Chain A
Amino acid sequence: MKGPDKFAVSAAYRARVGDLRRAMEAADIDGLLLYGNNWHADFLRYASDFGIVEGQGLALFERDGTVTLLLDDPIEAERARAETTHEIVLADDLVGMAKSLLLRGGNRRVAAAPYHLLPYGIARHAEELRLSDGGKLIEQLLMDKRQEEHVHVRRAAALADRGYDIFRAAARPGRKDYELIAEIEKFFRCEGVNENFMIIGVGGREVRGMAPPSGKVLKDGDLVTTELTPCVDGYYAQLCRTLVVGQPSELQLKSFRVFQEALDAGLRAVRAGITASEVAKAENDVFRGYGLGQYVTSEYTRVRGHGVGLFPDQKPQVLEDVTIPLTANMTMIVHPNTYHPDVGYLVLGDTIIVTPDGHEGLSTMPRALLPS
């Protein structure tokens, strides 16, 4: 497989193609139809290595590894022609052209994923198109990681650390929250990072979570929470940190120690073979030990970590009721982020690689409540 011009096909994509072909053979599937947009780009990216920005796309991945990529935006189609060797179809009518493509394939078995996002105009003809739900076939592949994929996650994690330094230096009294993000986005673009999942919280006890920037002005004593999630060659790594504008107070430091302890407990629990539930319980038990049990419920927090890879928030979600087992080489973040009643919302988390005996941390950023 050779990429056009100077764009070499990555070892990670070659590994994914091999894994996908083997999975399709085992499941006796002839073709896999993958849907994607800029929110859920992961399934499409897994099979095509194309990172979609605008519009919607469908990739038909054949068992022999060939890919037909249907894109409904002409500029995206032109970019795909430059970046990949796939057959690219500019689909003014995405649904109609996908149906025609599937019908041309004749009597064969095609699975689709993520099925819940598949356009209804295709799904309602599933029987005629011999289409089934291919989620199970590819979801495990998305969760498990090859060492070829680790290369990109490691680089993303390193860039998250460097990006956080930029963010921290930008966090000064009088600056607006979106200005901090503008600076970090500039850094990421200069480093060749196209995408970054990032939300922010600024303030004190009134802050219950993170959201996009709203124009809030930083002032001394504010807690500034963020999760940086840069994407390198399609792979995300996340870093969650909290800083204080100026110097942290004793109360802020004391409150933060619960989060440091919870992160340590969660990370100590991680190893291949245990479930996501056990990691969540280890984190949450620390909060419960301090009488903060109500703050680990869905009223105050969403998850206690999650997988990272071609999607910034992929399975397994680290929750006490999620029994998905962790496997060696899986990449994930452990983050006991939640509200603390004394000081407000706090975050702390690192991306790791799961190993047979524990984990390998990918961040070198101190796990501390940092001054700006």
Chain B
Amino acid sequence: MRRGLMGWSEADLPVAVLRKRLSRLQEGFAKEGLGGLVLYTNLARPAAVSFLTGFTPYWSEGLLLVPASGEPVFATALSKRVSAWIRSVMPIGSIENTPQPAAAIGHKLAAANIDRVGVVELDLFPAAQAALLMGNDGAVVLNDATALFRSVRIRVDATEISLVRRADDLARHCLETFHRGDDARQMAADIEARARLAGAEEVLVGVNPDLGRSNAFLRSDRLDGLGEHFAIRLSLSLQGSWVRRTITLSLISEAQAMFAAADAAFERALASASQAAALQMLQNGFPGKITAWTVEACVGSYPLEVVRRSGGTQAFPGNAFSGHLPVSVISAQADLNGVTWLGAGPVIGEARP
């Protein structure tokens, strides 16, 4: 669940920005023949609703109905007693507390004589919600509107760029200042606490305790000792904007120098104007062989999802966009003279008007 600081402020996420995002989305409805758009949210898939309203659920689930014009409606299974809290973190739209969010949205569609709505990531939509939305007689037709949403989502604005930069600054600060030692659990806990004390909304820390054994990042319950070379992966969010950072550390001084050179080259690549340019720099100007990489971005309901990865896989479905992503996270694995190095960090470009 989310248990860090959850808040909204006009300075960080202006209502005018949210309204602009909504209107951009609504502009596409007519072309698609949609009377509205429905987006699902829970704490594993909060990003699409968060992008449009600023709201992330700490628990439970909900649906956002974006009508063809006017304010959105957020229907949630969170109880009515939580309404005041929702209002405090969601500055836009109306709120309906109901055990069956899709039924409530369905009633609104029926009242407005809407018989065709778009659903973002329709295949992943929860089955019960889909059934309720369509109604017993199948009165409402559900169209997959993932591509429509994505075409708006990837136009990252200056507000989001600013939040991502702040999230990244915090992530880097935590990874630069944590108390180093020989206990992986303690180190992970210290990093997490620093991020939470600084107001992170959510923090996930994974540790690969021994790069000589596996590529897996483990959670606290599986951690004890450390190998010669180990890596720490920190993912954190500020007001719905997520970044990841991975650092590789060594107890061997020779390797520390090698990792420092790799870190510097990686940072130079991350400073590129685009993820494509960053990947190019990693392939051509890295002090070692890049053996694997992924590019993650927020393009739908996942906070971050893999949109490209090495090995020729284009994981980004729908082919709605194949070029520049203004904000992305690159994770890379390299072989440095037989020693594994892992790194991750964001490439933050310019806002797309």
Contacts and interface: CB of A to CB of B under 8 A. Distances in A.
A75 B197 contact: no
Given A39-B59, A181-B196, A214-B85, A121 B124 contact: yes
B258 interface: no
Interface stretch (A51-59, A60-68, A350-358): A51-59
Contact of A189 (B45, B81, B124, B188): B188
Contact of A212 (B4, B204, B222): B4
Contacts of A94: 124
B122 A120 contact: yes
Contacts of A54: 44, 204, 235, 302-303
A212 B6 contact: yes
Given A79-B218, A211-B82, 15 more contacts: A37-B44, A72-B305, A78-B215, A118-B126, A120-B127, A178-B197, A181-B196, A183-B193, A189-B193, A196-B1, A208-B81, A208-B84, A209-B81, A209-B82, A298-B79
Contact of B130 (A53, A123, A211, A212): A123
Interface string B198-215: 010000111000000111
Interface string B76-114: 000111101100110000000000000000000000000
Interface residues of B, number: 67
16 contacts: A72-B305, A78-B216, A81-B216, A120-B122, A120-B125, A121-B122, A121-B123, A178-B196, A182-B4, A186-B189, A186-B196, A192-B185, A197-B59, A198-B3, A199-B58, A298-B80
Interface in B205-261: 205-206, 213-223, 233, 235
Interface in A177-194: 178-179, 181-183, 185-194
Nearest to B61: A39
B123 A120 contact: yes
B127 A116 contact: yes
A368 to B, nearest CB: 25
A188 B205 CA distance: 13
Nearest to A41: B44
Interface residues of A, number: 68
A155 to B, nearest CB: 11
A189 B185 contact: yes
> Chain B: interface secondary structure?
mixed
Contacts of A191: 220
Contacts of A176: 5
Contacts of A118: 126-127
A269 to B, nearest CB: 24
B173 interface: no
Contacts of B122: 120-121
Interface in A192-239: 192-199, 208-209, 211-215, 232-233
Contacts of B155: none
A57 to B, nearest CB: 10
A214 B216 CA distance: 34
